Amino acid sequence: MTKCVQCQSHFHTPITITNFYKKEPRLCPSCAAQWKACKLDHTNRCPRCLKLLAEGEDECLDCAFLAERFTLMHQLYCDYQYEGHVKALIQQYKFMGDVALSECFAQQLQLPRENYDYLVPIPSPYERDRERTFNPVCQLLQQKEIYYHELLTTKLRPKQSELSKIKRAHLANPFELKSEENLTDKSILLIDDIYTTGMTVHHAGEILYDRNIRKSDVLTLAR
């Protein structure tokens, strides 16, 4: 019997010809179905940030807005929509401090096949990490046994979920470089839990592009 990493119930997966060589699933059928329901369909979405385009819209207005201020990320990698079951789990993880869910998220996070010089988690303020006793992104990467570089630090700032798009746009860049490593011509994968307006990851990218990185991609659990 296998213990589901999400609901902790025990379940049995019969061995068949089709799954004999596959890894044993870590989610029970019920939890797996909930994740599948939130799977992000890439049809009619911005090829860069995966925002759903309105009917007749051939340009992503979010990317056009960001391009006026930042060097844009090259590509967002994301498999799930921030809604329903996935949204509830992320909120439970971040705001209720349910650190055990990191194992569940680690099962769902798939790294891009491309090789990067640095995998960089988006930091959260020290005060918030101390309050919840862990950093959500770093905890997830540790659970998945992914080596990463903490190149950035951040000041305490208003919670992004509580700000309108306009207010986010007028925030000063909260990020600072934590390391003096030579980043010239390096490729960076920024990793965060959620992509919404893109302001957070582009603020982080701005600090790195100032150090002459070659490009930045972004990986998140949901958008």
Say yes or no: 28 and 137 in one domain.
no
Amino acid occupying residue 159: K
From 178, 89, 77, select the one nearest 136 (Cα to Cα). 89
198: left (phi over 0), alpha (psi -120 to 50) or beta: left
Say yes or no: 50 and 98 in one domain.
yes
Say yes or no: 9 and 22 in one domain.
yes
Using CA atoms, how far apart are residues 198 and 183, in angstroms rounded to an integer?
22
Confidence (pLDDT) at 216: 98
Say yes or no: 178 and 68 in one domain.
yes
Say yes or no: 15 and 91 in one domain.
no
Say yes or no: 137 and 76 in one domain.
yes
Using CA atoms, how far apart are residues 35 and 18, in angstroms rounded to an integer?
22
Say yes or no: 92 and 186 in one domain.
yes
pLDDT tens digit sequence for 167-215? 777 788 999 999 889 999 999 999 999 999 999 999 999 999 999 999 9
DSSP 23-87: PPPSS-HHHHHHHHHTBPP-TTB-TTT-PBPPTT--S-HHHHHHHTTSPPPS-EEEEE-SSHHHH
* pLDDT beyond 90 at 22: no
Confidence (pLDDT) at 159: 67
Say yes or no: 31 and 133 in one domain.
no
Chain-centroid distance, C-alpha 43: 20
Say yes or no: 56 and 14 in one domain.
no
pLDDT tens digit sequence for 82-138? 999 999 999 999 999 999 999 999 989 999 999 999 999 999 999 999 999 999 999
pLDDT tens digit sequence for 2-20? 888 888 888 776 766 565 5
pLDDT tens digit sequence for 30-48? 999 999 999 999 999 999 9
Helices and strands (H, E) in the chain, number of each type: 8, 8
Say yes or no: 138 and 33 in one domain.
no
Confidence (pLDDT) at 214: 97
Q: Which CA distances in Å does 75 have to 34, 72, 83, 92, 202?
A: 26, 9, 21, 28, 12
Instruction: Provide mean pLDDT across the span 145-168.
Output: 81
The DSSP bridge partners found for residue 191 are 121, 219
* pLDDT beyond 80 at 25: no
Confidence (pLDDT) at 180: 84
User: What pTM was estimated for this model as a whole?
Assistant: 0.89
Domain count, the chain: 2
Confidence (pLDDT) at 99: 94
Using CA atoms, how far apart are residues 213 and 222, in angstroms rounded to an integer?
25
* Boundaries of domain holding 204: 38-222
User: CA torsion, points 180, 182, 184, 190, in degrees to nearest 10?
Assistant: -60
Say yes or no: 31 and 57 in one domain.
no
Say yes or no: 182 and 76 in one domain.
yes
